[in-house]
Amino acid sequence: MSPLGLEGILLRHGCYGEFSRYRLLTLLDKISDPGVRLFFDVWHALHTKFDGTPPRAAIDPLALGRVLSKVWLYERQSDGSYISDISGEDIRSNWNVKMMGQPLSEIIPLGGHKLVEERFNYLLEKQCVIHGFNVTQTKSHSYAERLYVPLMSKGGDPICIFGVSNYNRFFPDERDRHREVVKNFEVFSYDPKTLEAQEKLVFE
């Protein structure tokens, strides 16, 4: 590859339209819901301002506006467990369980929390962004688009997971549509500076 890179080669030869067609997809291309995009934009502006993981106190609830009811926050404890510290109204109504102050292992019982903990641990280790779509097993929704990011705790430690979940529901007569959507369900980590995909996340 030329040191100019693909962008430089295409622009040098006047292929302006070709670059947009061949450029690498980023996180912004993957986000579907406008509320999830708003959440990310608010966090990313702070990440840029602080040149790294922003403090929890820097989050302005007013900036999140309409998406505030869909946000949540967990903080890792000294024993490695996670405690729910924020759960928006939409989160609580979809899960229909007590969340505030509860450990993740009680919110998602019977060992189901372990997969989520693995992703949370990965995010805190990498200090990256995680985004994707997941099938969910509740009566009120069928799948969710989720994006979560790291925050510094009140004590200055990078142990907070701040996220947003946009829930969607399929009805019985939408099975074909559901089948097509599920084919594209993937979860990736992204570099918070370049917004390029780092790794497809698969935890068993």
Average pLDDT over residues 145-153: 96
One-letter amino acid of 94:
N
In this predicted model, what pLDDT tens digit does every residue of 103-129 receive, in sequence order? Answer: 999 988 878 788 899 999 999 999 999
Q: Is residue 17 predicted with pLDDT exceeding 60? A: no
Give me the DSSP letters along 70-139. GEEEEEE-TTS-EEEEEE-HHHHHHH-S--TT-BHHHHSTTTTHHHHHHHHHHHHHHT-EEEEEEE--SS
Helix (H) and strand (E) counts in the chain: 9, 7
User: Do the Cβ atoms of 187 and 133 come closer than 8 Å?
Assistant: yes
Q: What angle do CA 113, 116, 120 make, to 5 degrees?
A: 130
Domains and their CATH numbers in the chain: 25-200 (3.30.450.20)
- Which DSSP letter does residue 10 get? H
pLDDT at 149 over 90: yes
User: What pLDDT, on a 0 to 100 scale, did the predictor assign at position 141?
Assistant: 54
Q: Look over the chain and give the mean of its residue pLDDT values, rounded to a whole number.
A: 83
41-66 pLDDT, tens digit per residue, is 999 999 999 999 999 999 999 999 99
pTM: 0.81
Q: Copy the structure tokens of residue 132.
A: 């994707």
pLDDT of residue 19 exceeding 80:
no
